[in-house]
Amino acid sequence: MTAFGADSTTDDVLAGVDLSGKRILVTGGSAGLGVETVRALKARGATVVAAVRDLSKARRALGDAGAGEIDLVELDLASLASCRKAADALVANGAKFDVVIANAAVMACPFGKTADGFEMQFGTNHLGHFVFVNRLAPALNTPARIVILSSSGHRFADVDLDDPNFERTPYGEWAAYGRSKTANALFAVGLDKRLKGRGVRAAAVHPGGIMTELGRHLTPELIDQMTGGRGVSSFKFKTVPQGAATTVWAAIVAPGDDVGGRYCEDCGVAARTDDPTTRTGVRAYALDPAHADALWAKSEELVGERFTY
């Protein structure tokens, strides 16, 4: 298998790949990494469904990117009713998916709550996808792949299963983001454990630092917190095609046994590290199977729904 790395783009990773006959779903396909992911997959012949909150915005963005005609499904991850409605409609359609990419997210936003009363980042980034992806599982082919976008931001905080909504803990934008991104990584661990017996493998992905709409809430103070006071100039940003490369690598190119239940970055499987000074690698708590099971149980309790496989 060709070696790829931090500078690889979606077109590098998918060079020579024919996705004709493959059906792929991408959440958050109306901006940034989502648009590039949809474009790259569509360009290789895949049938792509984009699940988005704003249909008009998605049509404009995907049209500008040259993605052609894309099937759109309305999905607001901050509303469990919307997650259930979208997933159930896709399952009822009867067409199967070969890949599901949970790409959509919010980052470092002021304190807020979802329609169901959950802290906004945990509720949107994790619980919305938890319900949507699990309810979509009957529509997965065998084999299939699920990619959950996490982030190096998972190092900011482990999940807090005793106080997931900051009811007793002082709210911090990066702490909340870190919790949600750790939850994303643990969700991939939990999905892979439950679905690999039927040929479905799940992986978590850190795309890298990219200037997209995701950073709309960043203030100079938050940037200082993110960079340890070194400022944005100390940070090496990727282009959007480089940022989406690890997503398509984990979804299409990498062997399932290599990435199943793992955390990937720079088109490879990340090493575990507890070094607080490094921006690469994955913390052990984000891959712990028992921790993943505890989060799964807590997530089922919070959303009022059980998912068994």
Ranges assigned E (strand) in the chain: 23-27, 47-52, 71-74, 97-102, 140-149, 200-206, 263-265, 268-269
Asked whether 242 and 267 are in contact (CB, 8 A), the reply is: no
Phi, psi of 165 (to 5 degrees): -105, 15
**Catalytic center residues:** 177
CA atoms within 13 A on the CB side of 197: 5
- Percent helix, strand, coil in the chain, to 5, is 45, 15, 40
C-alpha 85: how far from its chain's center? 20
Question: Which strands, in side-by-side order, build the sheet including 97-102?
Answer: 71-74, 47-52, 23-27, 97-102, 140-149, 200-206, 263-265, 268-269
User: Residue 82: in which H helix or E strand, if any?
Assistant: helix 80-93
Residue 304 has which token pair? Answer: 């009022």
102, 263, 266 from 17: Cα distances, Å = 22, 23, 19
